[in-house]
Amino acid sequence: MRPPGWPKLVAISIAPFAFGVASVIDAAPAVLSKHPGTNQVAEATRTRITVVDDLGRHVTVRYPPERIVSLAPGATAMLLAAGAGGQLVATIQYSGQPASEKRLPKIGTVDAIDMERLIVARPDVVVVWPDGDNPAQIAAIERLGIPVYRQEADTLGAIPQSLRRLGRLAGTSGVADREASTLEAKLARLRERYAHVSHPPSALLEVWNRPVYTVGGRELMSDALRVCGVDNVFAGLPQRAPAIGIGAVLARNPDMIIAVAPPGRGASWLAQWRRFPFLRAVRTGRLLAFEDQRLSGLGPGVIDATASLCRKIAAMRRRPERK
């Protein structure tokens, strides 16, 4: 489980069919009917499309879907970046919600969805976060016959790919593909500048303080450290957000400690580690409070947040070590 108070928020295709997407499976030609006494022409189409989501599952939806419900903050941010904001009809409530999402009706939280309100929203497709949303509720939505699209990227490099897939789902590929290319260019520049370190330092990435939570190697923030040329000292753990004991940190003795904390709380988290002056990170003064919430947001903003993290780490490493 993720710690209370820490947001649970915590390959380019050569052609569309390379991912099994954009295969129209039920398309009828336009039916034109003129009403007597008028010049109005009514056009009726029935088009459905099958796309492949981030977990490789085939999802068949009305195309383009006019009503999309997002049940995860990261998915909402991704849909907005993909140009599908006008098709979003509902999302969930969570702490720190940006103004761009506050206008949308809320149908619950990441843990508990109001199924009646979901049905009233009449979604053509529901976008979920498979690692964070309630599995029982995802199954219940599918039993209702509502298409469910699973969106999840566990590396920075997977975010542009995920964005392109969402563009195909929403019928907004032009916007999504452009944004994906921009993100790929940013990520390439970051890797070129920071990732090539001959002897990368190790770091504890603290994402909650009581108890202490960190991230394992499969979490986006761990990949952000790699891009910055730093090794996650707990990368070998299979859990995405494991609770750890103080003894485990002392045994690993990281070169730096980075507190990915809510605004205004990073300094107090780091102060707790000063009780252990023999820790290498404490002894050398390599303690960093990083409070940019986009880093744990699971949306495209994590790449810009990674750029900020890399700059702060580089500046900290340039400072003379305390003796």
Q: What percent of the chain has pLDDT over 90?
A: 64
pLDDT at residue 98, rounded to an integer: 65
Quick check: 107 and 90 in contact, CB under 8 A? yes
Phi, psi of 213 (to 5 degrees): -115, 145
**Long-range pairs of 86-91 with CB within 8 A, sequence gap ≥ 24:** 87/170, 89/121, 89/122, 89/123, 90/117, 90/118, 90/121, 90/123
Largest CA distance in the chain: 92
pLDDT at residue 96, rounded to an integer: 60
DSSP conformational letter for 17: G
Question: What is the C-alpha to C-alpha distance for residues 123 and 149, in angstroms, rounded to an integer?
Answer: 12
Question: What is the C-alpha to C-alpha distance for residues 314 and 193, in angstroms, rounded to an integer?
Answer: 10
* Residues 6+ positions from 60 with CB-CB distance below 8 Å: 25, 48, 49, 50, 147
Q: Give the tens place of pLDDT for each residue, 241-255.
A: 899 999 999 999 999
Q: Give the tens place of pLDDT for each residue, 78-103.
A: 999 999 999 999 998 875 666 666 68
Taking the CA atoms of residue 1, residue 307, residue 173 and residue 120 in that order, the dihedral angle to the nearest 10 degrees is: 40
pLDDT at residue 12, rounded to an integer: 24
Token pair, residue 136, equals 């029982």
CATH code at 197-318? 3.40.50.1980
Instruction: Identify each DSSP E strand in 144-244 by its residue range.
Output: 148-150, 202-206, 208-209, 212-213, 231-232
Q: What percent of the chain has pLDDT over 70?
A: 82
Specify the domain boundaries for CATH 3.40.50.1980 within the chain: 16-183, 197-318
Q: What is the domain class of 16-183 according to CATH?
A: alpha beta
Across the chain, mean pLDDT equals 84
Q: Give the tens place of pLDDT for each residue, 266-296.
A: 999 999 999 999 999 999 999 999 998 888 8
Split at pLDDT 50, 70, 90, the class of 44 is very low
pLDDT at residue 31, rounded to an integer: 34
| pTM (predicted TM-score) | 0.81
Q: Give the tens place of pLDDT for each residue, 208-226.
A: 998 999 999 888 999 999 9
pLDDT at residue 272, rounded to an integer: 95
Q: Give the tens place of pLDDT for each residue, 167-181.
A: 999 999 999 999 999
Question: What is the C-alpha to C-alpha distance for residues 79 and 184, in angstroms, rounded to an integer?
Answer: 17
Taking the CA atoms of residue 295, residue 296, residue 300 and residue 301 in that order, the dihedral angle to the nearest 10 degrees is: -40
